[in-house]
Amino acid sequence: MTLQARYARDRLVEISIILLTLLVVVPLLIIIVYVIMNGFSALNLSFFTEELGSPARAMQGRPAGLMHSIIGTIVIDLVALMMAVPFGIATGIMMSEYHEHPFSPVARLMTSTLNGMPAVLMGLLAYALVVKNTGGFSALAGSVALAFVMVPIIARTTESVLRITPWSLREAGLALGLPRWKVTMSLVLPAARAGVITGILIAFARAAGEAAPLLLTSFGNNYFSIDLTSPMDTLPQRLYSLAISPYRQWHSMGWGGAIILLLFVMITFYVGRVVIRKLEKYTNS
């Protein structure tokens, strides 16, 4: 092959790679622009202050909103977070600080497998464990399902940030005569604090966008409820119900819900990204 031909082929490859990149990036931007455009026009005050009610309510033009879904999402996700954090962080600590423990390789394998599991299966499990045994759909069952989603994410990020904290930190603590648990709790964890919190944020954002497990557990509710033992509404699951409903007014509320959900996920994502960048600077210097 002549040099000319090789350069020509180079050029051709470069152009096709640029085209492929556009093919991926452009639809992404289109989706985001569409959700933002349709979403903001669907928002108004009653969207944040009213509950959804029956379809008739929206069709007759009476004020309806997703206040109950927003509050429900926050409640269910926070309860899930409270359940998931101790397990996730403990697993991360075991895999990193006690990696000579015989359970550690097993836990690592389970963590990576669970991370790849479809969330709908977590919903099936939570249904069989909680809903079936308590006799009905409940917000608590939804929290359990979301906790199942969160635990492996928190465990994995905790492990990886603990692992990049310098070994000399532990050596210094041990040399001072600190027991291992104190080294972990008062040296390693504080040093890795930002990373651990980022992991929790990522897990929270992931779980906040999950609709599938909630459809099978917390079920949904057209009215405001704060009772953990009865069905409660959440944004992602409500979005699904609104989108497949036949009512035009509900469709536009769906766009409104989508922009709230998207904004929430984008902000969490951005905060996490900033923290990670700071962390990288810290570890590089």
Q: What is the DSSP letter of 230?
A: S
Q: Which of 59, 82, 117, 176 binds another protein (CB under 8 A)?
A: 117
Instruction: Taking the CA atoms of 255, 22, 270 and 215 in sequence, report the sign of the dihedral they define.
Output: positive
Tell me: does residue 109 bind another protein (CB under 8 A).
Answer: yes
Residue with tokens 């700071």: 278
Q: How far is the CB of 219 from another protein (least distance, A)?
A: 8
Helix 193-208 vs helix 139-164: crossing angle, to nearest 10: 150
3-state secondary structure of 98: coil
Stretch of 13-21, 47-55, 186-194, 224-232 lying at the interface with another protein (CB under 8 A):
13-21
Nearer to another protein, 273 or 278 (CB): 273
Tell me: does residue 199 bind another protein (CB under 8 A).
Answer: no
Stretch of 45-53, 58-66, 108-116, 189-197 lying at the interface with another protein (CB under 8 A):
108-116
Stretch of 29-37, 50-58, 71-79, 224-232 lying at the interface with another protein (CB under 8 A):
29-37
Q: Which of residues 39-78 bind another protein (CB under 8 A)?
A: none
Tell me: does residue 20 bind another protein (CB under 8 A).
Answer: yes
DSSP 153-189: HHHHHHHHHHHHS-HHHHHHHHHTT--HHHIIIIIIH
Tell me: does residue 119 bind another protein (CB under 8 A).
Answer: yes
Nearer to another protein, 270 or 282 (CB): 270
Q: How far is the CB of 212 from another protein (least distance, A)?
A: 4
DSSP 257-282: HHHHHHHHHHHHHHHHHHHHHHHHHH
Stretch of 42-50, 71-79, 101-109, 187-195 lying at the interface with another protein (CB under 8 A):
101-109
Tell me: does residue 275 bind another protein (CB under 8 A).
Answer: no
| φ, ψ dihedrals at 220, nearest 5° | 110, 160
Q: Which of 40, 78, 179, 226 binds another protein (CB under 8 A)?
A: 179
Nearer to another protein, 18 or 226 (CB): 18
Burial class (CB in 10 A: 0-12, 13-18, 19+), 158: buried
Q: Six-digit token pair at 155?
A: 């465990």
